[in-house]
């Protein structure tokens, strides 16, 4: 007998906003040299790092942001 397995249609994916969920974090990476900012929950902190980095290295003007957001799966119907 094959064990019962729930269908993926029974599960939904959503951002985890529970009080005990990990916080969303930001990080910048310089596309010129690969240096990275510290990871922080406040975007302005990594944005300050970006501006200071360019002040020290004026030719380094392209950056990418890495955003980490906690997600969870829940059983339920499509809303």
User: In b/e form, how buried is each residue of 50-78, taking b as 16+ CB within 10 angstroms?
Assistant: beebbeeeeebeebeeeeeeeeeeeeeee
Cα-based angle 55, 35, 46 (whole degrees, multiple of 5): 65
DSSP label of 9: G
Residues 29 and 74: beta-carbon distance below 8 Å: no
Residue-range domain boundaries for the chain: 22-71
Tens of pLDDT along the chain (79 residues) come to 565 566 667 889 999 999 999 999 999 999 999 999 999 999 999 999 999 999 999 999 999 999 999 999 998 765 5
Whole-model pTM: value is 0.77
């Amino acid at each position: 007998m094959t064990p019962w397995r729930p269908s993926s249609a029974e599960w939904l994916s959503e951002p985890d906003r529970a009080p005990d969920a990990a916080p969303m974090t930001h990080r910048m990476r310089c596309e010129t040299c690969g240096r990275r900012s510290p990871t922080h929950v406040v975007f302005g902190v990594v944005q300050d790092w970006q501006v200071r980095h360019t002040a020290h290295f004026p030719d380094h003007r392209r950056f990418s942001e890495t955003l980490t957001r906690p997600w969870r799966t829940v059983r339920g119907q499509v809303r």
